[in-house]
Structure 1
Amino acid sequence: MSSAQVPSESTAPPDTGPGPVPGPTGPFWSGIGQTLSRRTSIVAAVVAVVTIVLGLGLPRLEFTTGQENYLNSDSQVAKDNVAYQDLFGGQAMISLFTVKSGHELKDLFTTGNVEKFRALSAKLEKDPRITAVVTPLTALEFTHNLVTSDDGNPINSAAGQILLGARDRDPDPASADRRLQDSLKTLQRINEIPAERRVFDDPEWVDFLLHDNTGAIRKSLRPFFPSDSTAQMVVRLQGNASIADEGEGASAAEAATKELTFDNAEVVTTGAAALLRDINDYLRGGFLTLGGISLLLMAVLLVVAFAVRWRLLPLGVVGVGLVWAFGLAGYLDVPLSIVTIAGLPVLLGVGIDFAVQLHSRVEEEAQLDRAGHPVAEALGRLMPALVLAAVAGVVSFLALEFSQVPMIRDFGVLLAIGLPVIVVATVLLLAASLGFRERRRPTPPKDYSHGPLGRTVLVLGSLPRFTAIPLVVAAVGVFVGGVFADGNLKVQTDPEKWVNQDSQVVKDIQTLKARTGSSSELGIYIQSGDVFDDKTVKFVHDFAYQQLEEHPGDLVTASSLVTTVSFLMEIPDTTLVAPTGADIERAYKVAPEAIKKSTVNLDGKSLNLIFRTGPGSLEQRAVVVNDIRDTVAPPDGVRATPSGLAVVGTGLLENFEKNRAELTYYALIAVFIVLLIRHLNLVRALVSMVPVLIAVGLTGLISWAAGFELSPLTAVGGPLVIALCTEFTTLIVIRHLEERERGRSPQAAIDEAATRTGRAFMVSALAAVIGILVLAFSELPLLRGFGLVVALNVGVALLSALIVLPPLLLWADEQGWIYRAATPAAGPPVVSVSAAPTGAPDSATDDTATAAAGTDDDVAEADGDTTDTDDEDADEDEDATETKEQAGEPAEAGKGTSV
C-alpha cells in the first residue's frame, strides 16, 4: 500500500485528491443513522423492551451431553440405542473393588462386607434413576444358585443338570469322559465343604464359587472379577434418561460407595455417566466463566489499543447483543453442548469486531472529514460493507448445517442467528449513543491516520503490484496443499480426551482401565420370537465365541445369560458344546433379579450380550462394530443389533468423517456466490476470495506441521475462518472502491484506505482473535484446542487479507477490472456534500453537510450549533454548485465529498 511505489502504466486517472462523488452512497442507511442518533430516548426504550423480552429466553437454554448431540435422532444407530436402553437400561457406573496387599479375593467377602453389599444393593435399587445393581456378591449368588439344589444334592442343581446334558451331547467319547472326570472333581470339592458352611462369608465356599477346577477365576465370573485382586459392581442407570437424571444417578452410585468402608479393599466408582455429568456441570459454570474472561480481555484491548472517545462502548453494545442472541437461541430451543458453548466467546469476538469498525468510522467522519452528521455519514458509507460481511458470515456458518453431527449443526445455527442479531444491536445502540454524544459534545478534529496501527496496515500491504499473479498461483497451491494436509490430520473423537485429564473422574477411569483392562462396553441385543429356543441360544453362543476369537484385544469378556451357561460347560480339552434353550431357562429361573433384568427382557423377547471392550481409539472400536455388522448372520426370526456407548461413539466418528472437509467447500462456494451477487463483478469477487483461499489452506498446513490433534470442534473451524477472512476482504475492497469514487488513483486509494482504517482493522481483528483465544483458558482440552487452533487460523486470515489483497487489488484495478467511473446521467445531478478537507473551517463543513442531507432544520436542531445564517449560506452554496454543474463547470475542489 506504500505510496512510494512507482505506479505502472495504466488507464487509471491520476490522483487529483478527493473530489465530488457521483451520486449518493447509502442514502437509506444515512437516513437510518440520522433517525437513530436523534431519537435516542425512543431507541433506548425499544432496546430495553427487546432486551427484557429476549432475556427471558436465557433460562430456556438447555445444556445437553447425551447421544442427541452425536447422532441424528432419525438414524438407525440412534433408534437402536433408544430401543436397547428401553430394554436393558442405560449407562453403567462401575465400582471397582481392589483387594489390599496381603489379602486374597476371597477376603473381600467378610461378614461385614457381605452385609454392606446387600445394604448397598438395596439402597441403590430403590433409586428410580437406577435400573439394576449387580454387586460382586450378586455374581457369587448366581453361581451359588446354579451349583446348589433344594434337596442338597449338587447333581440335581441347575449346573449339575446342564453339565450332564452337555456330556450326553458331546460327540467325542473321549471328550465326554473328560467332562465326567471334571464333574466328579467338582462334586468332590463341593462335598468337602459341609452344607452349613456353604455361605458367602465362608472363605472356602467363596473360593469354590470363584475358582474352577484349574484354580483360575471362573470364565463366567470374569466380567465381575477381572483378576485375582479386583471385583466390579455394575450399577445400570435408567435407560434414555435426561442428562440431569443420569448425572444424579451417577452421583447416587458414587455417594453410596463413599458412605461405606469395605474391609480389606479400596473402592473407586466411575463411568461414562460420571464423565458426561462433569462435562455438563462444566458447561453450566464454564459458560459464564468464559464469558467473564472474554469481557475482561476485550476491555483491556479496547482501553489499550482503541484510541477513541467512549472506547468501551462497543463492549457494552455487544453485551446487549449477546443477551439478544442467546435469548433468541433459548426461544428457538438451540441446545448448549460441549460444542455450542464455544459460540459465546466467538460471537463476542466477532461482535466487537463489527462494533469497532462502525465506532471507528464515526470517529473518522467526525475527526478527519468533519462531517456535519458523522453518524449518518458513517452508516451511509460503512453499512453496505458490514451488511455484506454479515451475510457472508451467516452463509458460511450455515454450511455447518450439512454436517451429520447434531451438535455441529447446532453450533452453525447459533452463530448464524447470533451474528445478525448482534449486528442489529450494534447499529441501534452505537448509532443512538454516538449520535447523542455528538449532539452534546462534538468530537474535535484530529488526524490519527498516521498512528502506529495505520502505519502497520500500510506496511503489511506494501508488496509490489507485480506479485499479484504469483500470489494468485500461491493461493491455489496453498489451498490444494491445505486440503491434502487436512486429510492427514488426526481427529480425536474419544470423549475421555475432551475433558480435563487431571480431573478425578478421568483419573478414576484410568485406574479402572489399568486394573481391569477395560472401562467401556459394547452391547448387542438379540431379538427372537422365543429367547429360550435352541436356535436363538445356539446363535448367541456361537456369536460370542466367534467375536472373542476374532477380536482378542478389543473384546475382553462376554457377559450374558447364554455365555454364563456356555462358560460353565466349557471344560479344558473337551469339545465345545452349545447349551440348549432348556439349559438357559434353568439358569434364568435361579438367577438373581438384578441379573434377570440385565440379561433378559421377556416382554421385549430379547437377550442382552455385553462385551467389555479393551483400551483403544474409536477408530479401532469402529472396525470391530462394523465387522460385527457386516458379518453377523443370525438365523431366520432372530435379529442381532450392536448398541450401547461404544456404538454411539463409533456413530459419532462415522458421522463426523462423512463430510467434514466438504463443510469448508460449501462455505467457500456460498460466500463466493454472495460476493458475486453483491458486486456483479467477477474479478471483485475472485480478488476477495484469494486471501480466503490462502487462509483456509494455511490453516490446514500449519495444523499438520505443528502436529495438532483435531477435535469435532476444531476440525470444523474452516467456515469460521472463511467468515472472518471474508469480512476483512469485504471491508478492504469496498473501502477501496469508496476512495476511488472520491477521484483517487488506485495506489492512492489503497494507501488512504489503509491509513484511515488501519486502527479499526487491527483492533477488530485482535478482538476476533482474543474472543476465540479465550477458550484456551478452558479446562476442557476440547475447548482449549479449539481456542488455540482457530485463534491461530483467524490470525492467519487477517494477515492474508492485509498482505495479499492490496497488491492484488491494485494490479486488478489498474487493469480496469475493479473500478470504472460512472458516466454522468443526463439531467440535474445529485450533489450531496458530506465532508470538507481536513482542516477546513467548521462553518463550511456544517453548511455543506446540511445541504447534503436536505433537512436543514432537523440537522440544525440535532446538532444544536447550526444558525439561521448557516442555513442560508448552505442554500446559497447548493444553488451555486448546481448552477455551475448545469453550465458544465466543475464544482469547486475542496468543497467536500458526497454521501
Structure 2
Amino acid sequence: MIGLERLGVWITKNPVIIIAVAVLLTLVSVHYAQQIESTGMTTESFVSKDSSLYQLYDHLYQENFGADGNIILIEGDNVAKADALSASLRLSDHTKMIPNVISVQSIADIVADAEYQSSGIRRIPSQERIDEILADAGSSVQGLMPDSRHTRMIVGMPTTATLTESQRGELLAEISSAVDFAEFPAGYSTTVTGDPSFQAAIQEVMNNSNGSVLLLCGLLMIVALLLVFRHVRWPLLPLPIVLLGIIWTVGAMGFFHIPMGMVTFAAFPIMIGLGIDYAIQFHNRIDEELIKGKSSVEAAISTVNHVAIPVAIAVTVTEAGFIALLSSTVPSINDFGKVCMIGLVMCYLSALFVNTTVLYLSERKSPRKKKAEGHSEDGSAIGAFIENVANFCVGRWKAVLAVALILALAGNYADTMVPIETDTKNYIPQDLSPLIDLNHMKAFFGGTDSLKFLVQADDVTDPHNLRWMDDFSNYLLTSREDRTESVTSIATYVKEAGGGEIPDDRTQIREIIASLPEAVQDTYLSGHNLAIVDVNIGDAQTNLGTEGMARLIKSYEDDLAWMTPPPGVSVRITGQAVLMATVMDALISGRVEMSLLGLVLIFILLLAIYRDLIKALLPVLPMLVVIGWMGLVMYYGGLKYTPLTATLGALILGVGSEYAILMMERFYEELHNVGDPYEALKITANRIGSALVASGAAVIFGFAALMSSPFNIISNFGLVTVLSIVFALITTFTVFVVLMIRMEIHREVVENAKQELKKAIALINDQSRRRINGN
C-alpha cells in the first residue's frame, strides 16, 4: 500500500523525532502514574455507583448508619473481672480520643455508664456491683460478651468512602497503640481485627506482591524469548518495547482516574503478552526481510507495509473482544476492560514506531555481515514443526473437525455447571494473619453477614411503628430460625427498657431513647424518620453460595410482603450482602452475554474490514472451540469462576482471534504470491509459525507468573488463562488451518463452478445467436 510505504519511509527518515516523542510521553506517563489510586475489595469495586441498589445502600444506609466496625478481641480467664474491665475502660476512653473514631462499644462502657447514673462517678465499681450491672444489662451485653472468657470492643469508624487510605492507616495504627497503652493484666490477650484491619492487610499484601509477580513475569518472558525467538537478532528487544507501552498505559490510568485493584492488576500480564506479540511480529518480519538480502531501509519499509495493517486489524479485533467487558455491571470488570483497551493501543504504537526505529537504527549501525547461525529463508525449526502439524491436520481434516466439535459441544454444556466463588474472602491468602484473627473472632461471636431493613416514616418512634418492627423481628426469628441468628433494632432496646413491653406513650418512648447510649442511638436510629432493622445471618454468604444467597434474600423480601408495615411506613432491604449477591448474579448472567457480545462485535468488525464472509468467520469459529474446551477444563478441573475468570470468554475471543488473524493475513499474502492454497499454507505455517509460537510462549510464561500470586483470585486467573492461550495456539495450528484451507478450496470450487456456468451460458447464447442468424 502506498500510504503504508510512505509511513515506512517517514519512520526511517525521522528516528530522532520518534525517540524524542517516546521519551516525552514516558516522562508525562511517570507524572500521571503517581495519581493512581489503589483499591481493595471495596463495595465500590463491585457495584456501580449509578445503580439504584447502590444509591439505596450509599445514600440512605451508609450516609445515615454507615460506619465500619473494627474489633478489639479481649480474651482471658474472666473478662468481666474488675482489673480487666479497668484496662478495657482505659482502652475505650483512649480510643474515643483518636481522630475519626465515631463510637466505642464495650462491656466496660456499659458498667461505667451504669455506675455513673447511680453514683455520679464514671468508674469500674466493685466486683459485686459489676455482676449486678451486667445481669441487668440484658441483650446489650450478649453481643459483646458471649461467655466469661471472651469479649469484644467495637470501634466505630468512617467507611472507606469517607477516609483516605493514609488517614485510614493512621487510624488503625493509633488503635493498635491504644491497646498497648491500656496495659491489660497478665493472662489476658488482645487482638485487633475486623473488616477495616482486614482490608488494610489485603491492600498491603497486594502492594507487596504485585511487584514480585511482575518481576517474575519479566524473567519468565526472557526465558521464553531465549527459547523460541533466538533465531532472530536482538531476541530480547520485545521486552523493553512492551515495557514502554506499559509505562504509557499506567500514565493513562492516572490521567483517566482508573484505580488499581486486584482485577485491574491482572490486565497487565495480558498487555505484556499481547504487546510482546505485536513487537515480535514486526521484529520477525524485518529479520525475514533482512535475511533475503534487503537493505535496512528496504526491510523497514517492507515490514511496515506488510505487518502494520494485519497487526492493526488484530489489535482492533482484540479491542472488540474487550469492549464487551464494558457491558458488565461490575465496575472492576469495566476498569479491567478499559485498561486492556488502552494498553493494547499503547503497545501497538510502541511496537510500530519505537520497535521498528530501534531495529532499523541497530541494523544500519551494525549491519549483519552474514546470515546468522540457524537462519535460512526456509524458516526456523519451530516453523518447520508447525508446517508439519498443519499438513498433518489438513490431511485428516474430517477427524480434526469432528473431535474439535464434539469436545466444544461437551465443554459448552459442562460450562453451565461450573460454580462461582461467592465468598470474596476466598480470593485472598488463607494464611493471612488478619483473616485467621477474623475467623477466630467469628468462632465466638458468630458470622458478621447481615441484611438491613431500612424503615422510613414521618415518625419511626411512634408506638405502632415500633411494635411492627418488634413483631417483624420476632417473625424473622421464628420463620427463618435456621438462618437468622439475631434481629436488632431500636425497638429491641425500647422494649427492654420498658420491662418487655413497648410503651403506648410517645413521650415516654423518646425519653427511653434519649437515655440509651449514643452508640446505640447512632447504630439503629437517624433522627426520627429513619431506622434500621439489623438481621444477622451469620456466615450465609460463605455457606449458601450465590444461588442460595439470592433465595435467602428473596425469602426475606417475601416475609416483608407478608408482614406489611403500617400505612405511611416504607421498608426496603439493603446491605453489603444484598449488593454482593446482585454482583455475583450479574457475573453469572453477564458472563455468557459478554462472550456473545464480543463474538458479534468481532464478526461484524471483520466483515466490515474484509467485506468477505469467509474471512469474517475464520478467526471467530476456532475461538468458539476454545471456549468450549475451557468449559471442560473448568468443570473437570474443579475450578470456579471469579470476577476475573468471568471475563474468560471475551479474553479468549480477543487474544485467540489475534493469532488467527495474523495467520490468515499471511496466508492470503502468500496465496496471492503463489496461487496454490496448499503451497501458501506451507509457507505461512513455516514463516509465521515461529513468531506466533514465540508470542504465545511469552504470553503463557507471563501468565504463569500470575500463578505465583498469593491471591487466589489472581493465581486462578493465571492458570485458566495459560490453558486458554495454549488451546488458542493449538486451535490456530490445527482447527483454524483446516477451516481456512477447506473454505478457500470451497471458494475456488464455487468460483470455478461459476466460471464454468458462465462459459456454458455464453456458449448456449452463442449457439442460439448462430441459429437465429442462420435462419
Give the TM-score normalised by structure 2: 0.88
**Higher RCO by CA contacts (8 Å cutoff, separation 6 or greater):** 1
Which residue number in structure 1 is paired with residue 660 of structure 2?
Answer: 729
For 2:103 and 2:569, locate their aligned partners in 1 and report how far apart those are by CA, in whole Å. Answer: 26
> Any idea what the Cα deviations from partners look like across 1:516-538, whole Å, max 9, x if unmatched?
22234333332221232112211
Matches within 5 A, 1:374-453: 374-443=299-368, 444-445=370-371, 446-447=375-376, 449-453=378-382
- The answer to whether the Cα contact below 8 Å between 1:493 and 1:712 also exists between their aligned partners in 2 is no
> How far did residue 584 of structure 1 move?
4.0
Q: CA deviation at 1:510?
A: 1.3
Rounded Cα–Cα distance in structure 2 between residues aligned with 1:543 and 1:210? 28
Deviations 1:167-220 (A, max 9, x none): xxxxxxxxxxxxxxxxxxxxxxxxxxxx999974433333334347xxxx9444
1:528 and 1:206 map into 2 onto residues whose CA distance is 39
3-state DSSP of counterpart to 1:269:
strand
- For structure 1, list consecutive stretches of 5 or more residues without a partner in the other structure: 1-25, 151-194, 572-576, 822-899
Q: 1:532 aligns with which of 452, 461, 466?
A: 461
1:267 maps to what in 2? Answer: 190
AA at the equivalent of 2:229: F
* Alignment match, 1:804: 735
Question: 8 Å contact 2:494–2:513 — kept in the other structure?
Answer: no
Q: How do 1:161-560 residues align onto structure 2 when only pairs under 5 Å count? A: 200-211=124-135, 218-239=138-159, 240-242=161-163, 244=165, 245-263=167-185, 264-307=187-230, 308-368=232-292, 370=294, 373-443=298-368, 444-445=370-371, 446-447=375-376, 449-465=378-394, 467-468=396-397, 471-472=400-401, 475-560=404-489
**Residues 549 and 429 from structure 1, CA distance in 2 versus in 1: closer, same or farther, beyond 3 angstroms?**
same
Deviation at 1:39, TM superposition (A): 1.9
Pairing 1:625–2:524 present: no
TM-aligned CA distance change 1:621 to 1:270, over 3 Å: farther
User: For residues 758-783 of structure 1, what are the alpha-carbon distances to aligned partners after superposition, in whole Å with 9 as ceiling and x for unaligned?
Assistant: 22111100111222222111111111
1:109 partnered with 2:109: no
Structure 2: gaps of 5 or more residues: 753-775
Contact 2:91 2:181 in 1 (8 A): no
Worse-superposed segment, 561-570 or 455-464:
561-570
**Take 1:730 and 1:196, find their aligned partners in 2: how far apart are those partners?**
83
SS at match of 1:483: helix
The structure 2 residue matched to 1:92, chosen from 64, 69, 72, is 69
Corresponding residue number in structure 2 for 1:78 = 54
Aligned CA RMSD, in angstroms, stands at 2.8
Query: In the alignment, which residue of structure 1 is the partner of 2:95?
Result: 124
Higher share in helix = 2
Partners in 2 of 1:767 and 1:820 — Cα distance?
Answer: 41
Distance of 2:593 and 2:168 partners within structure 1: 35
Distance 2:184 2:536 in 1: 25
Q: Distance in 1 between matches of 2:479 and 2:164?
A: 35
Q: Work out whether residues 111 and 133 of structure 2, in 8 Å CA contact, stay in contact via their aligned partners in 1.
A: yes
Q: 1:585 aligns with which of 510, 533, 536?
A: 510
Q: Is the 8 A contact 1:63 1:283 kept in 2?
A: no
Name the amino acid aligned to 2:156.
R
- Which of the residues 609, 612, 632 maps onto 1:681? 612
Describe the shift of the 1:27–1:369 C-alpha distance in structure 2 as closer, same or farther (beyond 3 A).
farther
Q: Secondary structure at the match of 1:49?
A: helix
Distance 1:531 1:537 in 2: 7
Q: Once the 2 structures are TM-superposed, how far is the Cα of residue 257 of structure 1 from its aligned partner?
A: 2.7
Larger mean CA deviation between 663-672 and 86-95 belongs to 86-95
- Aligned pair partner of 2:674 in 743, 751, 775: 743
Distance 2:82 2:643 in 1: 50
Cα distance in 2, alignment partners of residues 51 and 818 from structure 1? 53
- 8 Å contact from structure 1 (residues 72, 404) kept in 2: yes
Closer, same or farther: CA 228–463 of 1 in aligned 2, 3 Å: farther
Rounded to whole Å, the distance in 2 between the matches of 1:442 and 1:662 is: 52
SS at match of 1:234: strand
Q: In 2 relative to 1, CA 257–490 (structure 1 residues): closer, same or farther, beyond 3 Å?
A: farther
The answer to whether the Cα contact below 8 Å between 1:537 and 1:579 also exists between their aligned partners in 2 is: no
Shift of 1:568: 6.5
1:787 to 2:708 alignment: no
Q: How does 1:706-717 map to 2 (within 5 A)?
A: 706-717=637-648
Q: Work out the CA distance in 1 between the residues paired with 2:611 and 2:192.
A: 64
1:533-682 maps to which residues of 2 (within 5 A)? Answer: 533-566=462-495, 578=502, 580=504, 581=506, 584-602=509-527, 605-616=529-540, 617=542, 618-619=545-546, 620-632=548-560, 633-682=564-613
Change (3 A) 1:437 1:196: closer
Q: Residue in 1 aligned with 2:26?
A: 51
Partner AA of 1:97 in structure 2: I
**Alignment check: 8 A CA contact 1:462 1:807 kept:** no
Describe the superposition over 1:691-728 as per-residue Cα deviations: whole angstroms up to 9, x where unpaired. 11111111111111111022111121221111111011
Partner residue in 2 for 1:775 = 706
CA gap 1:363/1:58 in 2 versus in 1, 3 angstroms: same
Aligned to 1:40: 15
Determine the C-alpha separation between the residues in 2 that align with 1:416 and 1:504. Answer: 37
Question: Using a 3 Å threshold, how does the CA distance of structure 1 residues 284 and 656 change in structure 2: closer, same or farther?
Answer: same
Is the 2:134–2:141 contact (alpha carbons within 8 Å) kept by the matching residues of 1?
yes
Does the aligned pair in 2 maintain the 1:561–1:587 contact within 8 Å? no
CA deviation map 1:454-513 (0-9, x unaligned): 133123323343644555555555444333322211111322111111111110111112
| Residue type at the aligned position of 1:625 | I
8 A contact 1:740–1:819 mirrored in 2: no
Amino acid at match of 1:405: V
Residue 855 of structure 1: aligned partner: none
Contact 2:80-2:148 within 8 A present in 1 as well:
no
Q: Distance in 2 between matches of 1:814 and 1:359?
A: 32
SS in 2 for 1:461: helix
User: Cα distance 1:328–1:767, how it changes in 2: closer, same or farther (>3 A)?
Assistant: same
Q: Which amino acid aligns with 2:388?
A: V
Larger radius of gyration: 1
Distance 1:298 1:198 in 2: 66
Give SS of 1:225's match: coil
Fraction of identical pairs, as percent: 24
Any idea what the Cα deviations from partners look like across 1:90-109, whole Å, max 9, x if unmatched? 2211222233xxx3xxx323
Aligned-partner Cα distance in 2 for 1:481–1:43: 51
Q: What does 1:846-861 align with in structure 2 at a 5 Å threshold?
A: none
Q: Distance in 1 between matches of 2:595 and 2:148?
A: 53
Q: Distance in 2 between matches of 1:457 and 1:584?
A: 83
Residue 102 of structure 2 aligns to a residue whose secondary structure is strand
Change over 3 Å in CA distance of 1:223–1:522 after alignment to 2 = farther
Task: Provide, for residues 568-592 of structure 1, a one-character-per-residue CA deviation record: whole Å limited to 9, x for no partner.
Answer: 6788xxxxx5555556434323222
Structure 1 residues 96, 623: CA separation in 2 closer, same or farther (over 3 Å shift)?
A: farther
After TM superposition, the structure 1 stretch with the greater mean CA deviation from structure 2, 395-404 or 246-255, is 246-255
Paired residues of 1:695 and 1:796 also in contact (CA < 8 A):
yes
Counterpart in the other structure of 1:830: none
Distance 1:570 1:691, change over 3 A: farther
* Range with bigger deviation, 327-336 or 513-522: 513-522
* Counterpart Cα distance in 1 of 2:529 and 2:626: 57
C-alpha distance in 2, partners of 1:232/1:545?
A: 26
